[in-house]
């Protein structure tokens, strides 16, 4: 009898940055045709993932979104929420905190990352440890072996995302050598988070084949090198239909109070202070600003929205590359809704 492979993927309880975990369930093909409701709730040892004590270690995996797994024959990716043994959302479950049941919020996440040479402990393409390549400048959207490294991994990952029906909208080499970015867009905050995590999983799996680590630290190389972010482009009906700058400014101002700044930074990624310095296309972590086409602002108003008669979206440039998109989206929605 034919079999299918379901890779259950969840976020653990590691502090300050949660890590992906996964394990495989094998089912008869007659019992699973790709529908979410056909994927059973499963359990795991939460004491080994920082999510439960050893004396009461069972946690539950509740399937939330299913993608085809192009890396396997007869495979599926099952993005899961973690529940406690009584079936309640676990404290580590960021997806459960999103208040967007009507999917009015749309998100486009720009996921930056660095390929990391696990032998030399430096970005892929850097010389031997302790030495640096030429200063950044030629690496952004670069072409050619001298400046673009890791393209074979990037291309394979992009094809996997397309085959999995993840709405990947583009890729490009970034400002630092060995640094890349892909963009994922979805209507609905939970859906956007599901797609980002599925894309992250597939990137890790491809990189495994090449013996390369995907480094999501927001400042992997100290000094005059760009950090890595996960810019969050977002809109709701108000922004998409506003027709005036006042509506945009009013929403931007909702992010300005100190309590909202603190709440955002708390979930925008560990070690983000190393990246948000006011340099390298960032605003300082202790300041808040917004501006039209300003990549040095906390929130950028895209020129495309202005030219479209003030109808479009905003870009929160503060989230770090290691942030949880669920928690980022939840914070933005809470701020906008007031």
**For position 37, which CATH number holds?**
3.10.20.70
Spell out the SS3 assignment of 279-317.
CCCCCECCCCCEEECCCCCCEEECHHHHHCCCCCCEEEC
Q: Give backbone dihedrals phi and psi of 72, rounded to 5 degrees, phi first.
A: -135, 150
117 and 33, same structural domain? no
pLDDT at residue 56 in the model: 87
304 and 170, same structural domain? yes
- Give the CA distances from residue 205 to residues 22, 215, 266, 290, 335, in Å, rounded to whole numbers and listed in that order: 11, 13, 29, 37, 35
Cα of 107 vs its chain's centroid, Å: 11
pLDDT at 141 over 90: yes
Residue 131 binned pLDDT confidence (cut-offs 50, 70, 90): confident
* Structural domain ending residue among the three candidates 32, 62, 92: 92
Residue 158 binned pLDDT confidence (cut-offs 50, 70, 90): very high
Evaluate whether residue 285 is within a structural domain. Answer: yes
Q: Contact at 8 Å (CB) between 177 and 125?
A: yes
| Percent over 90 (pLDDT), the chain | 96
Evaluate whether residue 98 is within a structural domain. Answer: no
Evaluate whether residue 268 is within a structural domain. Answer: yes
Please tell me whether the peptide bond between 101 and the residue prior to it is cis, using omega within 30 degrees of 0. no
287 and 265, same structural domain? yes
Task: Name the DSSP letter for residue 277.
Answer: B
* Structural domain ending residue among the three candidates 92, 118, 137: 92
Total domains, the chain = 2
222 and 279, same structural domain? yes
117 and 47, same structural domain? no
220 and 259, same structural domain? yes
Strands, DSSP E only, in the chain? 3-11, 20-28, 42-45, 58-68, 75-83, 106-117, 122-123, 168-173, 179-187, 212-215, 230-235, 290-292, 299-301, 314-316
Residue 174 binned pLDDT confidence (cut-offs 50, 70, 90): very high
Which tokens is 44 given?
């795991």
Evaluate whether residue 101 is within a structural domain. Answer: no
110 and 208, same structural domain? yes
Query: DSSP per residue over 255-274, as a string?
Result: T-SHHHHHHHHHHS-TTGGG
Evaluate whether residue 118 is within a structural domain. Answer: yes
pLDDT at 55 over 90: no
Evaluate whether residue 255 is within a structural domain. Answer: yes
Buried b (16+ CB within 10 A) or exposed e, 96-132: bebebeeebbbbbbbbbbbbbbeeeebbbbbeeeeee
Best CA proximity match to 268, nearest among 114, 109, 51, 91: 109
Evaluate whether residue 140 is within a structural domain. Answer: yes
CATH of the domain at 206: 3.30.590.10
Residue 69 is part of which domain span? Answer: 3-92
151 and 10, same structural domain? no
283 and 196, same structural domain? yes
Q: Cβ–Cβ contacts within 10 Å for residue 279, how many?
A: 13
Which tokens is 24 given?
């495989």
130 and 83, same structural domain? no
120 and 59, same structural domain? no
Evaluate whether residue 99 is within a structural domain. Answer: no
- Segment 275-296, tens digit of pLDDT: 999 999 999 999 999 999 999 9
pLDDT at residue 115 in the model: 98
pLDDT at 1 over 90: no
For residues 265 and 268, give the distance between their C-alpha atoms in angstroms, rounded to a whole number: 5
* Structural domain ending residue among the three candidates 92, 115, 136: 92
For residues 134 and 139, give the distance between their C-alpha atoms in angstroms, rounded to a whole number: 10
Residue 54 binned pLDDT confidence (cut-offs 50, 70, 90): confident
For residues 198 and 211, give the distance between their C-alpha atoms in angstroms, rounded to a whole number: 20
Residue 262 binned pLDDT confidence (cut-offs 50, 70, 90): very high
Query: DSSP per residue over 42-77, as a string?
Result: EEEEGGGTTSS-GGG-EEEEEEEEEEE-TTSTTEEE
Best CA proximity match to 63, nearest among 144, 146, 7, 123: 7
In DSSP terms, which residues pair with 9 in a beta bridge? 22, 79
20 and 162, same structural domain? no
């Amino acid at each position: 009898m034919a079999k299918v492979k379901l890779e259950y993927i969840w976020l653990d309880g590691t502090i300050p940055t949660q890590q992906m975990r996964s394990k495989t369930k094998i089912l008869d093909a007659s019992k699973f045709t790709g529908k979410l409701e056909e994927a059973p709730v499963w359990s795991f040892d939460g004491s080994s993932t920082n999510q439960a004590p050893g004396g009461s270690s069972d946690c539950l995996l509740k399937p939330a979104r299913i993608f085809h797994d192009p890396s396997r024959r007869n495979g599926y990716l099952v993005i899961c929420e973690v529940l406690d043994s009584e079936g309640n959302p676990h404290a580590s479950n960021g997806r459960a905190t999103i208040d967007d049941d009507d999917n009015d919020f749309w998100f486009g996440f720009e996921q930056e990352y660095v390929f990391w040479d696990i032998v030399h402990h430096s970005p892929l393409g850097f010389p031997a440890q302790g030495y640096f390549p030429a200063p950044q400048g030629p690496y952004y959207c670069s072409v050619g072996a001298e400046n673009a490294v890791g393209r074979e991994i990037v291309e394979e990952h992009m094809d996997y995302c397309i085959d999995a029906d993840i709405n990947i909208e583009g890729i490009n080499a970034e400002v630092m050598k060995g640094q890349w970015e892909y963009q994922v867009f979805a209507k609905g905050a939970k859906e956007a988070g599901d797609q980002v995590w599925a894309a992250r999983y597939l990137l890790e799996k491809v990189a495994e084949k090449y013996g390369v680590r995907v480094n999501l630290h927001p400042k992997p190389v100290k000094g005059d090198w760009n950090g890595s972010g996960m810019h969050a482009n977002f809109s709701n009906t108000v922004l998409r239909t506003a027709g005036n700058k006042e509506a945009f400014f009013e929403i931007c101002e909702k992010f300005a109070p100190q309590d909202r700044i603190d709440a955002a930074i708390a979930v925008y990624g560990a070690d983000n202070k190393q990246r948000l310095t006011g340099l390298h296309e960032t605003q300082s972590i202790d300041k808040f600003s917004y501006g039209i086409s300003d990549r040095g602002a906390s929130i950028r108003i895209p020129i495309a929205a202005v030219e479209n008669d003030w109808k479009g979206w905003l870009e929160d440039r503060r989230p770090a590359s290691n942030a949880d998109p669920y928690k980022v989206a939840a914070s933005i929605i809470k701020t906008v809704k007031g």
